[in-house]
Amino acid sequence: MRDYTGTYVFAIGCLAVTAASTAFTAWIMKDVVNEAFAKQNASLVWIICLSILAAFVARGFASYGQAVALSKVGNNIIARYQRRLYDHLMRLSVGYFSDWRSAQISARISQNVNGIRDVMNLTVTSIARDLLTLVALVCVMVARDPFLSALVFLVGPPVFFALRYIAKRLRVVTREAVIVNSQVLGNMQESIQGIAIVKAFTMEDQLSARADRLIGKAERQANRIVRLTQRTTPLTECLAGIAISGVLAYAAYNTIYRGILPGSFFSFITALLLAYDPARKLARLQVTLERAAVNARMIYEILDTEPHQKDAPGARDIAVSGGEIVVDGVSFGYAGTGMVLKNVSFTAEPGRMTALVGPSGAGKSTLIALLLRFYDPNEGAIRIDGQDIAGITKRSLREKIAYVSQQPYLFEGTIRDNLRYGRADATDAEIEEAAKLAYAHDFIMEQPQGYDTPVGENGVTLSGGQRQRVSIARALVRNAPILLLDEATSALDTESEAIVQKALDHAMEGRTVVVIAHRLSTIARADRIIVMQSGRIAEQGRHEDLAQRSDGIYARFHRMQALGLDTDVAIDQAGAAPAREPSA
């Protein structure tokens, strides 16, 4: 609130003018009735009319001023928190996003970010407008008739206790509703992103049934909230009806039987009627604020989440000369699971290729994640050029590493934008040179707008081979001394693989390369092959040496693949217990 003090002071001033003009309208009713109608004093009518006109004009401009001022503040609060949330999410570790579905995070943010704005605006408008208006009108009521004012105040305590009960119930229900709505939006986003699989497997009915259950649950929660928030309406309306009808009866009795001019009573009744709306809003304020506060709390739950994996105190930037990677006695397990890696040790020599081979679940991808410091080892250490990466800033480490994943991810924007993500300060000439080395330049120039062609969501306008070559070009733009490849050709057809393999040959020149490999063509060219099984290193050496070990895992894999067995099946079977060799 301190950041908007000037704007809030202006808004409060406008709201005070609104409250004063409303109270003045009730106050002048006595003169309107007595002077204009009872005494028929024509000389005062014009003054009364002009004063009423002035009050309404002042209230109109004041209402406009406070609405614009509070809207600008509210919109700025939303923008600030969206930026703050995005920056914070970018600082959180990969493990956080493994625990939360991305669609649910997005839905929670979009639903809850308005809560902080609403808390601020509701507080300001309720105090500066509704409370000031109510106080001013109560002063008019007390000045006109203290006895009637005391009677009216008797309706307050029942409303107060009812609202306290409802607010407590509403806190729990609102939180549940936000969670359910995030599941609904997450389910929709997930279905849209995977629409090709949905259509291919005719999943429409299954997903529609699932969405129907979630939407029905969200509808029931919304109805519960409505029932809770509206429970005060019958109570307040009944009590207000009793108070107003009683006041009218008393005023009529005094006018008819006691001959008292009705101006004071009309002024009192006008003040009472005008006070009803701000009183009703203030009565419901706790309920309304509770809903907004629940949303605000859920935003702060994200903002208060500490990164699981911070840079160590005094962490320094890494200095890479050769790029030697030493994995020394590394053991690691994800939260809630057993150990995925068990005492793994090997050296990836600088300027050479080290291939990681093994069956599914052997821990190959986990090793890549540890090299990128997505996670830290439970035991052991990883050193690059003698520097333990646990004492290195993550940013400087990742700036020295280029990464090509098995499933390349392209971001919304143009091809040029995606290539420049490799290095923000890369020139257009460097981008095009990297694309040529990755054998991507020719197909890029065939696109409608060349390098400025939009790629669509996750590169949907490009083929798998084209996306992979853009991903390799992005790694080349980074120009890092270490290259990590997570089986960059396994999902491609033979022709695309051959082109991408040429691009990888250029990318690997003069770099320390660690590659998860399934293709024999990739593995055979490696300077060192690490064969992994059940989180341990089973064998390591060169292709020629490992292939000659008749009882080795790698030798069995080599023979199976030579017989035409599918690559992944060959690796999984080779990593299993020795079995009868498949016949030709």
- Measured between its terminal Cα atoms, the distance across the chain in Å is 77
The encoded tokens of residue 423 equal: 């290095």
The distance of Cα 577 from the centroid of its chain, to the nearest Å, equals: 46
Q: Which is nearest to 139 in space by CA: 59, 32, 250, 24? A: 24
Alpha-carbon span 199 to 372, nearest angstrom: 36
Find residue 531's DSSP bridge partners.
Answer: 357, 539
Kindly list the domain boundaries of the chain, sorted by start residue.
2-303
The per-residue pLDDT for range 67-103, each reduced to its tens digit, is 888 888 888 888 888 888 888 888 887 777 777 766 6
At residue 580 the predicted structure's pLDDT band, cuts being 50, 70 and 90, is very low
Inter-residue contact 453 to 414 (CB < 8 Å): yes
Q: Which is nearest to 475 in space by CA: 515, 419, 526, 433? A: 419
Alpha-carbon span 418 to 458, nearest angstrom: 10
The per-residue pLDDT for range 157-181, each reduced to its tens digit, is 666 677 677 777 777 787 777 778 7
The DSSP letter of residue 311 is: P
Alpha-carbon span 570 to 567, nearest angstrom: 5
Q: Where are the alpha helices (DSSP H) in 230-327?
A: 232-258, 263-283, 285-303
Find residue 172's DSSP bridge partners.
Answer: none
Task: With both helix axes pointing from N to C terminus, report the angle between 102-125 and 285-303 in degrees, rounded to the nearest 10.
Answer: 140
Inter-residue contact 358 to 568 (CB < 8 Å): no
The encoded tokens of residue 226 equal: 């409505």
The per-residue pLDDT for range 510-564, each reduced to its tens digit, is 889 898 877 676 777 888 999 988 889 988 888 888 888 877 788 887 777 666 5
Write down the pTM of the prediction: 0.67
Q: What would you report as the CA-atom Rg of the chain, rounded to the nearest whole angstrom?
A: 36
The encoded tokens of residue 182 equal: 């995030």
Percent of the chain past pLDDT 90, that is, above it, reads: 11
Q: In the CATH hierarchy, which fold is given to the domain comprising 2-303?
A: ABC transporter transmembrane region fold (1.20.1560)
Alpha-carbon span 528 to 346, nearest angstrom: 10
User: Which comes out higher in pLDDT, residue 378 or 197?
Assistant: 378
